[in-house]
Structure 1
Amino acid sequence: MSFGQSMQMAQKQVLAPRMIQSMEILQLPILALQERIEQELQDNPCLEQVEPEADESQSPDTAESADDSEQELVVDESSNNEDDFERLVNMAENLPDDYEERSRPSQGQIEADADRAFDQMANMTARPETLCDYLQHQLSWFGLEPDLRRMAERIIYSLDTNGYLKSPLEELLPPVPPELNGSAEAFREQQLELAQRALTVVQHLDPPGVGARSLRECLLLQLQAGHPFEPEMRVLIENHLEDLQNNRLPQISKKTGMSLEDINEIWDEIRQLKPKPGAEFAESAAPSVRPDVFLEKDDSDKYVVRLEDGELPSLYVSPYYRKLLKQAADADEDTREYIKRKINSAQWLIEAIEQRRNTLSRVAQAIVDHQTRFLDEGPEAIEPLKMQQIADRVGVHVTTVSRAVDDKWIQTARGIFPLKRFFVGGTTNAEGDDVAWDVVRIKLQEIVDKEDKSKPLSDDALVKELAKHGVKVARRTVTKYRKAMDIPSSRQRRDWAAGATAS
Structure 2
Amino acid sequence: QMVEVLETNPVVEVTEEASLGPEISLEKPPEVNSELVAQSKEFKEQARDDFGIDWQKYIQDHETSEYRISSGGYSQDEETGFDKFVSKKSNLQDHLMVQLHESNLNTTETKIGEYLIGLLDRNGYLRITLDEISDLLKVDSQVVAKVVNVIQTMTPAGVGAYNLRGCLLLQASDEGYNNDVVTKVIEKHLGNLANNKLAIISKEEGFELEDVQAAADIIRQFNPKPGASFPTANDNIFVLPDVFVEKIDDEYVVTVNQKDLPRLRINNLYRETIKNKDASNKATYNYIREKLEAAKSFLRYVDKRQSTILNVTKAIVSVQRDFFEFGIFHLKPLTLQDVATMAGVHESTVSRATSGKYAQTPRGLFELKFFFSGGAQTQTGEDISTQVLKKRILDIVKLENPLNPLSDSEIAAQLIAAGVKIARRTIAKYRIELNIPNSSRRKHT
TM-score by structure 1 length? Answer: 0.43
More helix by share: 1
TM-score by structure 2 length? Answer: 0.48
